[in-house]
Amino acid sequence: MKSRSLELLITVGLLAVLGGCSSVDREADTAFPGTVLRGAGATFPSLLYNRWFSTYEKDHAQISIRYDSVGSGEGLRRFKGRNVEGKDLVDFGASDAAMEDGDMAEVSNGVILLPVTAGSVVLAYNLPMVEGELRLSRRAYTGIFLGEVRGWDDPLIAEANPGITLPQLTITVAVRQDPSGTTYALTKHLDAVSDQWRRQFGPRTLVDWPGNAMRAKGNEGLAGRIQQSIGSIGYVGYEFAARLGLKMATLENRERNFVKPSQQSSVASLSAVQLPHNLRVFLPDPPGRDSYPIVTYSWVLLYRNYPTAEKAREIRNLFRWCLVEGQNYAPELHYVRLPVDVTDKALAALNTITPTE
């Protein structure tokens, strides 16, 4: 009973703090003499967004940008909530899972899906006793996430790693507990390569994972859990794994080649698929000898019509900068610079944003 009471007090206190922060933010927004742009969503591109927005603000003193890295699912909810609740919850959302037609139909002001960056989803692991490059075949890593491959010395792992001594250690699978575009990118891939995964789960942003999975919130939270847990493996954006120095598995791709996650292998994957007119494309199992198998675009969710000419203009200016000058920051943070043809299509879509007034 004491522990439950303490838990409740902590929860109430945390909510009070968060509520206070929201109040302070709203007061700060009201006091700011220029234009405030609020966004929320994906954690996958958050390191790049933080760099973009802080850099942009330095050169544009009349703009304040607030981005809440809350996950793709929550970002979509807030983006749609603008119309449902009759007030501006956000000016833009962000997701690694492009909106479905049904979701877009609920937004009366219209929707533009704007691809602004891309990257790879890696399988990061914590095995300090294993030296060298760990390879995982398609059968091995789908088996891990299906809960069928449970030990690091399993024959499916051993056969792809001759000469490496694998420990007799139980695999702890680390997964996201919040609706996530990173989860969607992984499960979209598993759906493409595994009949069993397709029958049981399919692609989704939130999964009732089999077995005793270790759960965490956000890419940063999940990467931290892997770093702290020997014997664990989980899926995170490449940039978060690289930031913490986590080991990343080399994965078997569609052509049966084992490919490391890198800028080059992600670019090879993106080059294999043409972006359609609606700017919504998925790469569940990209072809190509050098393609890394789990890659995704990341989209900003914009309204086609904004309430004022000023808001429409500032949104266009901000994301035009992100699509052009902002791409220079992508490689150093381990994201992928958008291909030129993708940038051109995104800029054309951005120019269609208009005010309602």
Contacts of residue 324, Cβ cutoff 8 Å, sequence gap at least 6:
343, 347
Task: Summarize the confidence of residues 274-289 as an average pLDDT.
Answer: 93
* CATH code for the structural domain at 120-271: 3.40.190.10
Q: What is the pLDDT of residue 30?
A: 64
Task: Summarize the confidence of residues 336-351 as an average pLDDT.
Answer: 96
pLDDT digits (tens, 9 = 90+) for 143-198: 999 999 999 999 999 999 999 999 999 999 999 999 999 999 999 999 999 999 99
Task: Summarize the confidence of residues 287-313 as an average pLDDT.
Answer: 96
Asked whether the predicted pLDDT for residue 115 surpasses 60, the reply is yes
Task: Give the Cα separation of 329 and 325 in Å (integer).
Answer: 8
Boundaries of every domain in the chain: 35-119+295-355, 120-271
Residue 30 or 290, more confident? 290
Q: What is the pLDDT of residue 84?
A: 44
Intrachain domains 35-119+295-355 and 120-271 with the same fold = yes
Asked whether the predicted pLDDT for residue 105 surpasses 90, the reply is yes
pLDDT bin (cut points 50, 70, 90) of residue 292 is very high
pLDDT digits (tens, 9 = 90+) for 315-340: 999 999 999 999 999 999 999 999 99
231: left (phi over 0), alpha (psi -120 to 50) or beta: left
Q: What is the pLDDT of residue 59?
A: 95
Q: What is the pLDDT of residue 104?
A: 94
Task: Give the mean pLDDT of the chain.
Answer: 90
Return the bridge partners of 272, or none. Answer: none
Beta carbons of 191 and 283 less than 8 angstroms apart = no
pLDDT bin (cut points 50, 70, 90) of residue 298 is very high
Q: Strand 258-259's sheet: what is its strand order?
A: 135-136, 250-252, 258-259
Q: What is the pLDDT of residue 118?
A: 97
pLDDT digits (tens, 9 = 90+) for 3-56: 333 333 333 333 333 333 444 455 456 678 899 999 999 999 999 999 999 999
Asked whether the predicted pLDDT for residue 86 surpasses 60, the reply is no
* CATH code for the structural domain at 35-119+295-355: 3.40.190.10
**Helix crossing, 309-323 with 46-59: angle to 10°?**
120
Q: What is the pLDDT of residue 346?
A: 97
Max intra-chain CA distance, the chain: 68
Task: Give the Cα separation of 138 and 160 in Å (integer).
Answer: 10
Task: Give the Cα separation of 33 and 21 in Å (integer).
Answer: 20
